[in-house]
Amino acid sequence: MLTLPDKRLALQAYEQILEFIMNGTLKPGELLNERRLADVMNVSRTPVRDALLMLEGEGILLRLDSRRLQVKQIQIEDYLDALQIRLLLEPSVARHAAGRVPADRLADLRAKVETLRAKGHVSSDERHLVREIDDSLHGLLCEATGNPQLTAIIVSLRRRTLMFDLRSVPERLESTCDEHLAILDAVARGEGEKAAEEMTAHIAAVRSSIINRLHRR
């Protein structure tokens, strides 16, 4: 077993379980087995238990009773509610970040987005790249606010809406990249209102694509 401090182990377990949920290893509705997760991650049950409590607190897991936790099946209403809050918060974050993010970090992220867009398609094994770039962009803007509480709120909301990410709408890859590039360019130029406008358009486009996909089912 690993011998890292309990808090660090819990955070590592949290990230790994979250990744299992995001990549489909743990599916919506699936019951979680604390002992099995501990064995898979080669840690004791204590950090796994702490990680599960954190995920429950974020609304990603659902408690059925004192012993059983389930991967929450996100309902479209939950998704739309979370997106509505993101629409209220993230344009303001983008506005504030304009002109405040180091140019080298923006350029590095822009290059990654352009590389991803040039691919035009990602396999199931590459989907984590899409999420990593998406997390990097939104995280970079949040970091520029210097407000860790706001950042934590947005991270939590994004994790809920990522259940409906590009795995559900793969045709959105190029559009998402274009929207990200527009946000990055506005931030790089220090154009706060334009950055807010592009962020609003991006989140609204994600919302529309999911609604359209559900209507086609």
Find the CATH number of the domain harbouring 189: 1.20.120.530
Please indicate, yes or no, whether the overall pTM of this predicted structure exceeds 0.85: no
| Token representation of residue 8 | 């660090």
For residue 176, is it within any domain? yes
Q: Are residues 104 and 184 in the same domain?
A: yes
Answer for the pair 180, 140: CB distance below 8 angstroms, yes or no: no
Sign of CA dihedral 22, 57, 71, 13: positive
Domain boundary pick from 71, 99, 117: 71
Q: Provide the pLDDT for residue 119.
A: 86
| Inside any domain, residue 58 | yes
* Sign of the dihedral through C-alpha 81, 84, 89, 90: positive
Q: Which residues on adjacent β-strands are paired with residue 35?
A: none
d(CA 202, CA 8): 34
Checking if the pLDDT of 166 tops 50, the result is: no
CA-closest candidate to residue 22, choices 165, 214, 207? 165
Backbone phi and psi for residue 63, each to the nearest 5 degrees, phi listed first: -85, 125
How does pLDDT run across 117-155, given as a tens digit for each residue? 998 777 766 677 787 898 899 999 999 999 999 999 998
Is 200 found in the same domain as 180?
Answer: yes
Same domain for 97 and 50, yes or no, is no
Each as own residue / partner, the long-range contacts of residues 84-90 (CB below 8 Å, 24 or more positions apart, any chain) are 85/157, 86/154, 86/157, 86/158, 86/161, 86/203, 87/200, 87/203, 87/204, 87/207, 89/150, 89/153, 89/154, 89/157, 90/138, 90/141, 90/154, 90/199, 90/203
pLDDT digits (tens, 9 = 90+) for 72-101: 887 778 888 989 999 999 999 999 999 999
- Same domain for 49 and 20, yes or no, is yes
pLDDT at residue 18 tops 80 = yes
1 in a structural domain: no
Torsion of CA 132, 135, 136, 140, to 10 degrees: -170
Boundary residue ending a domain (43, 71, 99): 71
C-alpha triplet 15, 154, 186: angle, nearest 5°: 115
pLDDT for res 147: 95
Tokens representing residue 58 in the block: 């974020």
| The two three-digit tokens of residue 169, written as one number | 């709408």
Q: What is the pLDDT of residue 163?
A: 63
Domain range spanning residue 120? 76-216
54/127 same-domain check = no
Number of independent structural domains in the chain: 2
Helix (H, G, I), strand (E, B) or coil at 71: strand
CATH of the domain at 45: 1.10.10.10
Using CA atoms, how far apart are residues 205 and 169, in angstroms rounded to an integer? Answer: 11
